Amino acid sequence: MTGPEFDECDCPENVDASLDRAEPGAGPALLWLVLDESHPAAVVLPRIKRGLRSRDPQTRANALQSLGHFGRLHREIDDESLALLRIALHDRTVLGGYQLRGYADNAAGDIGSFVPRHRLPRWLRRRHAGPWRPRPLRR
């Protein structure tokens, strides 16, 4: 992605503006924001959740990708994001020949693999948890 419309799309204010206007570039802007590790979780996660609530299927798909990246990079997730993910796991909206629940499944797999098991709800651990890693023993 090049061009003037993506020069500063990792800026949180630009992501907010894109989501407010429901622009086609809102989804890619979310991806840029989450992959730019200079932004703290408190800045990134609320915008991902806004993207997950979007009416635009492409924005929701990119928000799901962003949520998976968020879990991988930050190794944490909140209850509201998990609730939105659970809803997305049943989303049969077709985008480019694939249902959005496939994007949600990939995000759940990333979250299950990188967020510690004890922080995940049972429904996610059952289907999407990564390898079990015991907690280190305390002395």
Q: Looking at the domain assignment, is residue 108 inside a domain?
A: yes
Instruction: State which residues form the domain around 107.
Output: 12-128
Each residue's pLDDT tens digit, 74-117: 999 999 999 999 999 999 999 999 999 999 999 999 999 999 98
Mean pLDDT within 120-125: 93
Q: Is residue 121 a part of any domain in this protein? A: yes
Residue 4 forms part of a structural domain: no
**What share of the chain in percent tops pLDDT 70?**
86
Give yes or no for residue 7 having a pLDDT over 50.
no
User: Is residue 128 scored above 50 in pLDDT?
Assistant: yes
Residue at 1 is within a domain: no
- 112 occurs within a structural domain: yes
Contact in structure between 39 and 33 (CB atoms under 8 Å):
yes
Structural domain total, the chain: 1
Q: How confident is the model at residue 11 (pLDDT cuts 50, 70, 90)?
A: confident
With respect to residue 5, please indicate whether it lies within any of the assigned structural domains: no
List the end-to-end C-alpha distance of the chain, in Å, as a whole number.
Answer: 51
pLDDT tens-digit series, residues 49-58: 999 999 999 9
Q: Is residue 17 part of a domain?
A: yes
Residue 134 zone, left/alpha/beta (φ > 0; ψ -120 to 50; rest)? beta
Asked if the model's pLDDT at residue 4 lies above 80, the reply is: no
pLDDT value, residue 28: 93
pLDDT of residue 1: 41
Q: Residue 85 falls within a domain, yes or no? A: yes
Is pLDDT above 90 for 137? no
